[in-house]
Structure 1
Amino acid sequence: MITYSGPILILVFLLLTIIISAYEKLFVWNKTLKDYVEMYKNHLPPFLVKLSLIIILGLEIIVTSFLALGIYDIIVDQDISLSEIGLIITGVLFLILLIGLRILQDYRGAGRTAIYFLLVVFGLFWIQSI
């Protein structure tokens, strides 16, 4: 169990980060959609912004499921397969978010997202090396 304490902390951190993001999108949908359409008004048509937001929300829900189940599996069975899948999908999610921020030319936001992505890669490396 102690062997997995570092990866579990990374998984919990990512789970909390993404579940809060998904919660905000899901329960404040109209405001979130309005804000994103306004943010991307010079770059993407509104229907693409809405489609992107739906895809991101779907990925966030999938990621939170895999991360939560992965944490459970590590604690109960010391099985890392769901955690690996969760981390890989999390990495894909952050790459998608990075692309969106680069479209906006929000380099600060892209830099912050890159830090999360590096945490995912580190967690994946760590969990696969145990």
Structure 2
Amino acid sequence: MDNLAGLMILLFLAITFLQSGYDKFTDFQGNVSWLKEHFAGTFFDGKVELALKTVMVFELIAGLLSIVGMIEMSISGGTTFGKYGAVVSCVTLLMLLFGQRLAKDYDGARTIAIYFITAVLGVYLLQ
């Protein structure tokens, strides 16, 4: 329990990305349908399914690494997997930010920035 803030950030990232990845997996066609409209006329027009699968995989990896990181911290005090989880979370959020900016969804991009600050703080605390 030496790094309680790190544990809380990893729990936040695990909840965020596992829930989001699970939602994308269980309602893939619903997400594709909404995103095709969202990205119509952009670079992702016609590439929505591949982009969604890519983001879903990154989200699930980020969430799983965050959980493994919490376990590692609790057992040995190590931060390797937690740091990887936070870094993959940052990369995932940058992909999402790119998509939101491309779609000119500036409110969505602003929301992602809040999550990104938390993930970067996790990278910093878990060094």
For Structure 1 versus Structure 2, the TM-score category normalised by the shorter chain is over 0.9
* Structure 1 residue 127: Cα displacement: 2.0
- Matched residue, 2:121: 122
Give, in whole Å, the separation in 1 of the partners of 2:85 and 2:113. Answer: 18
| Off by >4 Å, runs of 4+ in structure 1 | none
Partner Cα separation in structure 1 for residue 79 and residue 45 of structure 2 = 41
Gaps of 5+ in 2: none
Partners of 1:69 and 1:99 in 2: CA distance: 28
**In the aligned structure 2, how far is the partner of 1:64 from the partner of 1:115?**
17
For residue 66 of structure 2, what is the aligned residue in structure 1?
Answer: 67
Where 2:100 maps in the other structure, the secondary structure is helix
The runs of 5 or more residues in structure 1 that have no matched partner are none
Q: Which amino acid aligns with 1:36?
A: L
Report deviation, 1:65. Answer: 1.4
User: How does 1:32-47 map onto structure 2 within 5 Å?
Assistant: 32-43=31-42, 44-46=44-46
> 1:104-128 deviations in whole A, cap 9, x for unaligned?
1111111110111111111111222
Q: Is the 8 A contact 2:90 2:120 kept in 1?
A: yes
Amino acid in the other structure paired with 2:14 = L
Cα distance in 2 for residues equivalent to 1:126 and 1:45: 38
| Matched ranges for 1:41-120 at <5 A | 41-43=40-42, 44-46=44-46, 48-120=47-119
In the alignment, the residues of structure 2 paired with residue 13 and residue 117 of structure 1 have an alpha-carbon distance, to the nearest angstrom, of 12
Equivalent position SS for 2:40:
coil
What percentage of aligned pairs have identical amino acids? 27
In structure 2, distance between residues paired with 1:116 and 1:38: 24
Tell me, yes or no, if the aligned pair for 2:69 and 2:81 is still in contact at 8 Å: yes
Structure 1 residue 42: Cα displacement:
2.0
The structure with more helix, counted as a fraction of residues: 1
Question: How far 1:73 sits from its partner (Å)?
Answer: 0.3
Distance 1:62 1:103 in 2: 24
Provide, for residues 35-90 of structure 1, a one-character-per-residue CA deviation record: whole Å limited to 9, x for no partner: 111111121322x1111001001111111111110000000111100001111111
**Counterparts of 1:87 and 1:123 in 2: how far apart (Å)?**
6
How many aligned positions are there?
126
